[in-house]
């Protein structure tokens, strides 16, 4: 299969996308014809994306980042012949990465008759927060679902810039100070972060105070269908707020967007408190690795490799 490409729609592509939506469920049952779908795609306040496999249009995504439900995934459409191939999951991951970059909540509606889609959303961590009876058509309910990383305006996850390096170094060293019983010295330095940036990216999480306060970071790289997560760190005073989970979720979304089928990381075996955390996120031990800096080791230790399958199969 050709690699999936997701990009903003050009004006010349709107009609093809409207045709795809109007000929698909749930728009058929909801009686949303070509003109209604085209009108949505032409709405200036919406962010509209198309998904292609090679030259074939296979999906449409519409986001609304304004209004009371900021972060609303308004429409996601997969070509009927391409459903069940993980494209819906990939589009949702793309939408989440875009929305959670600036907002802590993702909202969407799913029709009561669209049970397969609802099961997929629930498997991906969405929870039903309300039912809108007779909302679009008489006799049909819409369920409002939400996936959240915290209260609105509390924080945001974004890609790091070179200006963030000092804060990344500070947060990482403070977070990894708990390892000084078995590993001596600081965990990282500016040169080390710069070297990581030659092979991947850092994501950071910051509280949206004035000025914003960087409270965590994580390294991510992708190669040949596999993702790698490293240097996950949250400032000690900010731990317990779900920031680590939010960073891992952002890494997973980025890796899914890059077409990765798995995500790996490594943990010092003496950090036993970390294994339940990563196991709860779906990671399983897969092997043992030597510690890369043996000169810094105080106690006998090794790394435990852990891997998570990024399931791209789903109903959409």
**pLDDT one-digit tens code per residue, 82-110:** 998 999 999 999 999 888 877 788 999 99
146 strand-pairing partners: 107, 127
Based on the domain organization, do 55 and 143 belong to the same domain? yes
51 strand-pairing partners: 6, 59
CATH of the domain at 108: 3.40.630.30
Show which of 148, 180, 196 is a domain's final residue.
148
Based on the domain organization, do 294 and 165 belong to the same domain? yes
Based on the domain organization, do 272 and 177 belong to the same domain? yes
Based on the domain organization, do 130 and 271 belong to the same domain? no
Based on the domain organization, do 165 and 142 belong to the same domain? no
Averaged pLDDT, groups of 10, the chain, 316 residues long = 86 97 94 96 94 95 88 95 92 90 87 92 94 90 90 80 96 97 96 96 89 94 95 93 87 89 96 93 95 95 95 50
Q: What is the pLDDT of residues 40-81, one digit of tens each?
A: 999 998 999 999 999 999 999 999 988 878 899 999 999 999
Return d(Cα 192, Cα 185) in angstroms, integer: 14
Based on the domain organization, do 124 and 173 belong to the same domain? no
Based on the domain organization, do 132 and 202 belong to the same domain? no
pLDDT at 162: 94
Based on the domain organization, do 33 and 162 belong to the same domain? no
Based on the domain organization, do 224 and 139 belong to the same domain? no
Based on the domain organization, do 301 and 199 belong to the same domain? yes
Based on the domain organization, do 161 and 273 belong to the same domain? yes
- Residue 77 covered by a domain: yes
Residues near 293 by beta carbon (within 8 Å), at least 6 away in sequence: 183
Q: Residue 148 has which token pair? A: 């959240």
Residue 206 region, left (φ>0) first, then alpha (ψ -120 to 50), else beta?
Answer: beta
Instruction: Count the domains in the chain.
Output: 2
SS (H, E, C) the chain: CCCEEEEECCHHHHHHHHHHHHCCCCCCCCCCCHHHHHHHHCCCCEEEEEEEECCEEEEEEEEECCCCCCCEEEEEEECHHHCCCCHHHHHHHHHHHHHHCCCCEEEEEEECCCHHHHHHHHHCCCEEEEEECCCCCCCCCEEEEEEECCCCCCEEEEECCHHHHHHHHHHHHHHHHHHHHCECCCCCCHHHHHHHHCCCEEEEEEECCCCCEEEEEEEEEEECCEEEEEEEEECHHHCCCCHHHHHHHHHHHHHHHCCCCEEEEEEECCCCCHHHHHHHCCCEEEEEECCCCHHHECCCCCEEEEEEECCCCCCC
Show which of 124, 148, 172 is a domain's final residue.
148
Q: Residue 225's domain spans which residues?
A: 155-309
- Residue 94 covered by a domain: yes
- Residue 258 covered by a domain: yes
Degrees to nearest 5, angle at CA 111 with 108 and 114: 110
pLDDT at 90: 92
Based on the domain organization, do 136 and 72 belong to the same domain? yes
Show which of 98, 132, 148 is a domain's final residue.
148
pLDDT at 280: 86
């Amino acid at each position: 299969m050709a690699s999936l490409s997701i990009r903003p729609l050009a004006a010349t592509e709107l009609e093809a996308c409207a045709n795809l939506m109007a000929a698909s469920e749930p728009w058929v049952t909801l009686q949303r014809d070509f003109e209604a779908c085209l009108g949505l795609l032409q709405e200036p306040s919406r962010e509209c994306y198309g998904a292609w496999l090679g030259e074939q249009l296979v999906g449409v995504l519409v986001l609304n980042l304004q209004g009371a439900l900021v972060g609303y995934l308004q429409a996601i459409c997969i070509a009927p012949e391409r459903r069940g191939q993980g494209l819906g999951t990939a589009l949702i991951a793309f939408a989440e990465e875009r929305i959670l970059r600036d907002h802590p909540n993702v909202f969407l509606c799913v029709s009561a008759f669209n049970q397969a889609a609802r099961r997929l959303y629930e498997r991906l961590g969405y929870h039903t927060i309300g039912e809108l009876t007779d909302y679009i058509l008489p006799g049909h309910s819409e369920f409002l679902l939400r996936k959240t990383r915290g209260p609105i305006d509390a924080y945001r996850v974004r890609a790091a810039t070179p200006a963030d390096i000092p804060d990344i170094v500070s947060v990482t060293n403070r977070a990894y100070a708990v390892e000084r019983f078995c590993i001596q010295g600081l965990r990282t330095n500016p040169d080390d972060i710069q070297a990581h940036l030659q092979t991947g990216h850092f994501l950071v999480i910051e509280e949206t105070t004035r000025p914003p306060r960087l409270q965590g970071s994580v390294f991510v790289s992708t190669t040949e269908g596999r993702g790698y997560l490293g240097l996950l760190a949250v400032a000690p005073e900010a731990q317990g707020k779900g920031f680590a989970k939010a960073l891992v979720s952002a890494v997973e979304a980025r890796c899914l967007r890059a077409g990765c089928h798995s995500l790996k990381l490594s943990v010092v075996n003496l950090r036993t408190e970390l294994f339940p955390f990563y196991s709860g996120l779906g990671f399983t031990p897969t092997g043992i690795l030597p510690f890369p800096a043996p000169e810094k080791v105080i106690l006998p230790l090794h790394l435990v490799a852990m891997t998570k399958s990024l399931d791209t199969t789903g109903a959409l």
